[in-house]
Amino acid sequence: MTSAHGKVILLGEHSVVYGRPALAAAISPGAEAAARDGDGASLTVAPWSTTFRAGDGSDLGRALDALAGSFATSDFHLDATLHLPGGGGLGSSAALGVACARALAELRGLALDDARLLDAALAWERVFHGTPSGVDHTLAALGGIGVFVKGEGLRPLRACPRLRLCIGDTGERGSTKEMVGAVAAAYARRPEATAKTFDAVASLVRNGALAVEAGDLRGLGELMNLNQALLASLMVSTERIEDLCRAARAAGANGAKLTGAGGGGCVIAVAGEREAEVLAAWRALGAKAVAVEVGA
Ligand code: PMV
């Protein structure tokens, strides 16, 4: 059985697509997979109990094709377990891709260094996201917590005290491709103003890395609130996301924001001592809510 991490973007989604840094952390477990010989390329995903096949027209079918191409092999079956909500902004597709790539390489006795694993996972992710920044599959493969820059990779933070986060699921699902497209449209309409927004997010990310290294949860929370306002100005927030962010702050969280592409998905909050209150406030709004330690 091989495994891979999920991820949360603490600060910097969307602007990371435009070369600005993002502060991201792994969450575990993300996904697990095991491979055996099969007929064609296929994948069964628990807990959905659904089987996908290369050539079946589904995104996962296309991702299997990409995986088979990356390792120049066919006739395998993968059994995977996803421990994250699908499409919720927690890097579920990347976690599946990395766990499956590891399982397939193990089955075929292929040496898999980080570079080859990241290449295979990027080919998988392109099926779902078009032109991903790479933050999801890099965190899925490498874990930890750090500053990610497209084309440069992940710089792990120098020091990282324990960091606990509350994660609330809005129950809504946005499409990452559509959200990334909406930001691209905003950028095309108002390039200067949108670039300024990206630059503002970049400075939040730089300060956020320092705040996490210093264990300054209050500072991190304030930066998250500012990032959320900028994400809303890019039109990737929703009423439900705003409701959950407001509820977290009212329950005593230092800060809250969406994580991932937005348009739905999950919200994160830094709650410190008020973790139980934040989780209760979200559950009262009908959201699934958990507290996790990130950066494994
Ligand atoms: O929704 P997710 O978990 O796939 O995160 C997308 C993050 C974006 O910055 C919006 C896109 C990207 O490729 O980095």
- Set 65, 79, 136, 169: catalytic member: 136
Give the model confidence (pLDDT) of 236-270 as tens digits.
999 999 999 999 999 999 999 999 999 999 999 99
- pLDDT band of residue 12 (cuts 50, 70, 90) is very high
State yes or no: is 136 an active-site residue.
yes
Query: Do 35 and 170 lie in a common domain?
Result: no
Asked whether 264 lines ligand 1 (CB < 6 A), one says no
The last residue of a domain, from among 156, 176, 199: 156
How many angstroms separate the alpha carbon of residue 108 from the centre of ligand 1? 31
Query: Is residue 129 in contact with ligand 1, taking CB distance under 6 Å?
Result: yes
Q: Are residues 131 and 16 in the same domain?
A: yes
User: Domain boundary at 156, 172, 204, which?
Assistant: 156
- Predicted local distance difference test score (pLDDT) of residue 49: 86
User: Given ligand 1 and candidates 5, 17, 138, which is best to mutate, with the most ligand atoms within 8 Å of its CB?
Assistant: 17
CATH of the domain at 67: 3.30.230.10
Q: Are residues 22 and 148 in the same domain?
A: yes
Per-residue pLDDT reduced to its tens digit, 196-220: 999 999 999 999 999 999 999 999 9
Mean pLDDT for all residues in the chain: 95
Spatial distance between the Cα atoms of 145 and 19, rounded to a whole number of angstroms: 19
Both 85 and 188 in one domain: the answer is no
Examine the domain organization and report whether 152 and 172 are in the same domain.
no
Q: How far is the CA of 270 from the centre of ligand 1 (A)?
A: 20
92 lines ligand 1 (CB under 6 A): no
Note down the domain range covering 127.
2-156
Same domain? 12 vs 143:
yes
- What is the count of structural domains for the chain? 2
Q: Judge if 183 and 273 occupy the same domain.
A: yes
| Distance (Å) from CA 39 to ligand 1 centroid | 33
* Cβ(257) – ligand 1 distance below 6 Å: no
Same domain, 37 and 97: yes
Top-confidence range, 60-64, 84-88, 131-135: 60-64
